[in-house]
Every structure is written in C-alpha cells, then in structure tokens.
Structure 1
Amino acid sequence: MICYIYDGSFDGLLTAVYESYYMQEKPEQILRKEHFLPDFFIEPIYIKTSKEKAYKVYNAIKDKVSHEALKYVFYVFLSELKESSTLIYRYLKIAFKIGKDINLHMHNGIVLSVHKISNKVTNEVHRMLGFIRFKFLASNLYYAAMEPDHNILQLIMPHFSKRFSSQNFIIHDRKREIAALYNKEKWVIVDMLKADGEKLFLNNNDEVYEKLWKQYFSSITIENRKNRKLQKSYMPERYWKFLTEML
C-alpha cells in the first residue's frame, strides 16, 4: 500500500494532492508525518512541500469546485484527526469529477464525513468565542489560555481582534504550544511553550478582575436552580479549567 507522508502544513497536504495526479505511485493514504507509523505493508513516499503546487490545487478547488468546498477542506484539515488527510484526498477526487454540486451528494459517505468533521470544528469555534477568558497582566497585556480539540486559533482571531481592537492581547493554545499575538493593529501566530504562558502569571499582582468575575457569578446564582448536568451539555467540562467563574 502506498502512503504519502507530508510535513503537516496545509501547503504540504495540497502538494500531496497535486502529486497524486502526476506521480506514477498513487496513494491509498495521505498522512501527516507525526501520524505515520512504519509498517511492513506500507510503502511511504515523502512529499516535499511546494507552495507553487499547493497554490495550483488551492485555485483548482476554488475555481473548479467552489469556495464552500475549499472551506470544508480547510476545516477538516484543522480538525487534526489522523484520517483527515486521506479523507480530504478522497473528497477532492470526487469533487473534481462532480464539480460545484459535490456538497449536495450527502448520500456519499465521504462527503457526509467531511461535513460532519467540518461541523465539529465550526461548533468548537462558536463555543470558544464564549469560553475565552482574558486575564489582565501588569504589563498592560491581556492573556487567555485554551486547549481546544481542534486547531481553531486562526479561526477565532478575526472575532477577538475586532472586539478588542484597542487592547494588546495573547490567546495561547497550550495544547499545540502556539499563540496569537495582537498589537492593536494586526495579529500573528507564533510558537509559544506552555511553560512560557505560565511565566506570564508570575508578573501579575492584580487579581481584582478574577474576583469581580467570581462575585458576579456568585451574585446571580440561585442555589436551588443549579443544574450541573444541563450546564455540562452546553459547556463541556474539559473547558472549565480556563473559565474564571468555574474556579
């Protein structure tokens, strides 16, 4: 079995899709390098990322299929599921044959799986817009930590850069050890260790903001109407450790 291995970037994935049309050895799987485990029955072919080839595939999806299909592909990529790259490859093979109506073929298992995974990523983006809690640091900087299931940092930043356009802030994805930095003008995503985020708190001596949040939620809570089960259904417990009101 032929398996294409790429570097884990979106350009790398699109390059692998490009090569699948021009290389003699056609893949049955496409995997990120961190997902690949050597196997006697698998012949790996390592794909070198090419921005030029990736750009051609990007435009082909946009022009020959649709912007919507391109969005689905990108969201499934951001899911970081092990099977996501192979699923995208199979989806695109069908999409290039059918064209712009690909997403009407929900009876097809591959198309249906793409929609389901994309919806999971979209739902987590919406949840995170309400779950992010910023902490004010002494250096006139706001910091927020999160550990989402999917790689959604770049999807939530347009919202926060508009809503808090007059503030300097950091949103730290501790699970992937990356962070979005905003300087009142633009935002960028950089590598940031989990330990570096924890060090930020060493310079913070002002806990008033957190206390106000706790007092607010305490004042509006009606003890005999607490419903933890319902609360968990709207706010998964795995997010609670980053919510000030849940501490």
Structure 2
Amino acid sequence: MICYIYDGSFEGLLTCIYEAYYNKENPEEILKKEEFIPNLLTKEVYIKSDMNKFSKVYEAIKLKVSPVSLKYVFYVYLSDINGSSNLIYNYVRLGFKLGKNVDLYLHDNRVLKIHMIVKKVTSEFHRMLGFVRFKDIDNKFLYAPIEPDHNITALITPHFTERLRSENFIIHDLKREVASIYDKNGWSITSLPKEYGLRLLYENENGLYETLWKEYFKSTTIENRLNPKLQKMHMPKRYWKFLTELP
C-alpha cells in the first residue's frame, strides 16, 4: 500500500496530487505527517511541497473542473477532519474526469462527502462572525481568542479587516496555535503559542469594554423571555468560552 505523506500545507496537498498524476500512481492514502503512523504494510513516500507543482494543480482544478470546486477543495482542507486529504484527492480525480459537472453527482460518495464537509465549514464560518469577541490590550491592539472546530481563521479575518480598518488586531486560534495579525495595512497568518493568548486574557481579565458590554447585555435582557434551549440551538455551548457577556 502506497501512502503519500506531506507537510500539512495546502501547497503540499496539491503537490501530492501532482505527483500521483504524473508518476501514474494511485496512493491508497494521503496523510499529513502528524497523522501518519508507520506500519509494515505501508510504503511511505514523502512528498516535498513544490510551489510550481502546486500552481499547476491549482490552475487545473480551476480551469478543468471549476472555481467552485477549487473553493470546495480548500474548505475541506480547512476542515481538519481526519481523512480529508484522501477525500480531496478522490474528488479531484473524479473532477478531472467529469469536469464542471462533478458537483451534480451527489449520488457518488466522493462528491457527497465533500459537500457535507463544505456545509459544516461554511456554517461555522458564518456563525463565528457573530461569536468573535475582542479585548482591548493596553490601548495598543484588539485581541480575540477563538477555538473553532475547523481551521477558519483565514476565512473570517477579511470580514473584520473591513469592520475594524482603523484598529490593529489579532484573531488567535488557541487550539491550532495560529493567528491572523492585522496592522491597518494588511493581514497575515502566523503561528502563535497558546500560552501567549492565555497570558493576555489573564492580564486583561476585566477591561473597561468588557465591563460595559456585560452591563449592556444585562440591562437589555428580558427575564421572562429567556429561552436557554433556543439560545443553545443558535449559539452552541462549545462557543461560549470566550463570549464576554456570558458568565
């Protein structure tokens, strides 16, 4: 059994697809290096990310399949779901055969699974836009910790660069230890240790804006209209951790 192993980047994943196609191989598995567990039945092939090969596959998906399919591939990559690399590989192979009609084949598991994951990532992406809470850090920058199910930091950041153009801010995914950093001119994704964020939260636990927001939330609450069941349905409890207004 052939297993392609890559560095976990999107560039690395598309490089794997390039190598499989031009080497006329059909790897049974494509895994991120942290997912791979060595065994005697697997032939390990380590694939090094190559920007030229990545670009060729990227453009091929966009032109020979569709820009929408390319978006789906990226969203599934961001899902961080185990086995997502295999799903993408099989979906792209089918896409090269069927062209732009590939997404009509929902009876095919290779397509259906992609659509199901895209729906989950898209849903969390839109939901998270309303759940991000910023803290003012010494009047220098705004800081927002998040712990989403999927790796959506890069998806939500453009929304906040539009809303907070005159502010410096950091959106920090503590689970993955990555952050988007905006400096009024542009933004980028970088690695950032979880400990950094926890220290900021501890040192700025009860800032002025947090206190005002809690008071506003409390004053506008209508006690006899509280509906915890409905609240949890629209605002799942796993997102409550960093909501300033909740205890």
Distance change >3 Å, CA 164–CA 90, structure 1 → 2? same
What is the identity percentage for the equivalent residue pairs of Structure 1 and Structure 2?
A: 56
Amino acid at match of 2:116: K
Partner Cα distance (1:25, 1:13) in 2? 15
Gaps of 5+ in 1: none
Shift of 1:224: 2.5
Q: What is the SS of the residue equivalent to 1:101?
A: helix
Matched, 1:108 2:108: yes
Q: What corresponds to 1:60 in structure 2?
A: 60
Q: What corresponds to 1:194 in structure 2?
A: 194
Q: What corresponds to 1:137 in structure 2?
A: 137
Q: Given that residues 137 and 201 in structure 1 are in contact (C-alpha distance below 8 angstroms), is that contact kept between their aligned partners in structure 2?
A: no
Amino acid at match of 2:95: A
Shift of 1:188: 1.1
- Per-residue CA deviation, residues 191-214 of structure 1 (Å, 9 max, x unaligned), is 111111123346648622111111
Structure 1 runs, 4 residues or longer, greater than 3 Å off: 201-206
Q: What corresponds to 1:26 in structure 2?
A: 26
Partner Cα distance (1:201, 1:93) in 2? 46
Q: Aligned ranges for residues 69-148 of structure 1 at < 5 Å?
A: 69-148=69-148
Partner Cα distance (1:89, 1:205) in 2? 45
Amino acid at match of 1:72: Y
Amino acid at match of 1:178: V
Q: CA RMSD, aligned part only?
A: 1.4
Partner Cα distance (2:146, 2:202) in 1? 18
Partner Cα distance (2:137, 2:202) in 1? 9
Gaps of 5+ in 2: none
Q: What corresponds to 1:14 in structure 2?
A: 14
Partner Cα distance (1:92, 1:26) in 2? 13
Q: Aligned ranges for residues 214-229 of structure 1 at < 5 Å?
A: 214-229=214-229
Distance change >3 Å, CA 204–CA 242, structure 1 → 2? closer
TM-score normalised by structure 2 residue count: 0.96
Q: What corresponds to 1:155 in structure 2?
A: 155
Deviates more, 1:194-203 or 1:221-230: 194-203
TM-score normalised by structure 1 residue count: 0.96
Matched, 1:230 2:227: no
Deviates more, 1:219-228 or 1:163-172: 219-228
Q: What corresponds to 1:174 in structure 2?
A: 174
- Per-residue CA deviation, residues 176-196 of structure 1 (Å, 9 max, x unaligned), is 111111111101111111111
Q: Given that residues 138 and 206 in structure 1 are in contact (C-alpha distance below 8 angstroms), is that contact kept between their aligned partners in structure 2?
A: no
Amino acid at match of 2:28: E
- Per-residue CA deviation, residues 26-61 of structure 1 (Å, 9 max, x unaligned), is 201111111111122222211111111111000100
Shift of 1:223: 1.9
Distance change >3 Å, CA 7–CA 242, structure 1 → 2? same
Partner Cα distance (2:212, 2:205) in 1? 15
Q: What is the SS of the residue equivalent to 2:129?
A: helix
